[in-house]
Structure 1
Amino acid sequence: MSHALALLSFAILLLAGAVELWWGSSARLRQRRSAAHVEAQLTTGPSSPVNTVKASTTRGLETLPTDALLLRADLPTGLRVPVLVAAPCMALALAGWWRLHSAWAMPMVLGLLGCMVWLWLRSRIEQHRRRLLRQLPDFLDGMVRLTSIGNSLPMAFQSTAATVQSPLRTVLDRTLLSVRAGHDLDRALHLASRPYHLHEFELLHVVLGTGMRIGGRADQILQRMSDFMRDLAQARQELQATTSETRLSAWVLGLLPVAVAVGMTMFNPAFFKPMFTEPLGHRLLLIALALELTGGFILYRMTKSL
Structure 2
Amino acid sequence: MLTLLIIGASFIGVACLVGGVASIAFRSEGGSAVEDRLDMLAGLSNPAQAKKKDEINLLTNPLGETNPFEEWLAKSFNLRLFLQQADTKVSPAKLALMCAGLAGAGVLLPIMARLPMVFAPLGLLLGPIPFLYFYMKRGRRLGKFAKQLPEALELISRALRAGHSLAAGFKLCADEMGSPIGDEFNRCYEAQNLGQPLEDAIEEMTDRVPNLDLRFFATAVILQRQTGGDLAEILDKIGHLVRERYKIYGMIQSLTGEGRLSGAVLLGLPPVLAIVMWRLNPGYLSMLFTDPMGHQMLAAGVVLQILGALVIRKIINIKV
Q: Please give the TM-score of this superposition, normalised by the length of structure 1.
A: 0.68
> CA 1:287/1:95 → structure 2, altered by over 3 Å: closer, same or farther?
same
The answer (yes or no) to whether the contact 1:144–1:220 under 8 Å persists in 2 is yes
CA distance in 2, matches of 1:305, 1:160: 31
CA distance in 1, matches of 2:277, 2:85: 36
Partner of 1:202: 215
Partner of 2:146: 133
The answer (yes or no) to whether the contact 2:173–2:182 under 8 Å persists in 1 is no
The answer (yes or no) to whether the contact 2:167–2:189 under 8 Å persists in 1 is no
State the 1:272 CA deviation: 4.8
Moved more, 66-75 or 231-240: 66-75
The answer (yes or no) to whether the contact 1:144–1:222 under 8 Å persists in 2 is yes
Q: Which residue of the other structure, out of 252, 270, 275, is the alignment partner of 1:239? A: 252
The CA RMSD measured in Å over matched residues stands at: 3.4
CA distance in 1, matches of 2:56, 2:161: 31
Partner of 2:116: 101
2:273 is equivalent to residue 260 of structure 1:
yes
SS in structure 2 opposite 1:59?
Answer: coil
2:303 is equivalent to residue 293 of structure 1:
no
2:83 is equivalent to residue 70 of structure 1:
yes
2:163 is equivalent to residue 163 of structure 1:
no
The answer (yes or no) to whether the contact 2:161–2:232 under 8 Å persists in 1 is yes
Deviations 1:132-164 (A, max 9, x none): 122212211121112123333223223332222
Partner of 2:6: none
CA distance in 2, matches of 1:303, 1:106: 35
- For 1:213, the aligned partner's letter is Q
Partner of 2:124: 110
Higher relative contact order by CA 8 Å / sep ≥ 6: 1 or 2? 1
State the 1:85 CA deviation: 6.3
Deviations 1:169-218 (A, max 9, x none): 22112212321333222321221341331112211111111122221111
Deviations 1:97-131 (A, max 9, x none): 445432x43333433x4676666545433322231
Identity of aligned residues (%): 22
Moved more, 235-244 or 121-130: 121-130
Q: Please give the TM-score of this superposition, normalised by the length of structure 2.
A: 0.65
Moved more, 165-174 or 263-272: 263-272
After TM superposition, list the pairs within 5 Å mapping 1:212-223 onto structure 2: 212-223=225-236
CA distance in 2, matches of 1:61, 1:88: 28
State the 1:72 CA deviation: 3.2
CA distance in 1, matches of 2:56, 2:236: 31
- For 1:139, the aligned partner's letter is A
- For 1:91, the aligned partner's letter is A
- For 2:305, the aligned partner's letter is E
Partner of 1:7: none
CA distance in 1, matches of 2:281, 2:80: 40
Partner of 1:14: none
The answer (yes or no) to whether the contact 1:254–1:296 under 8 Å persists in 2 is yes
After TM superposition, list the pairs within 5 Å mapping 1:41-56 onto structure 2: none
Deviations 1:44-63 (A, max 9, x none): xxxxxxxxxxx999332469
The answer (yes or no) to whether the contact 1:68–1:196 under 8 Å persists in 2 is no
Q: Gapped runs of 5+ residues in structure 2?
A: 1-53, 62-69
Larger Rg: 1
> CA 1:195/1:233 → structure 2, altered by over 3 Å: closer, same or farther?
same
> CA 1:87/1:151 → structure 2, altered by over 3 Å: closer, same or farther?
same
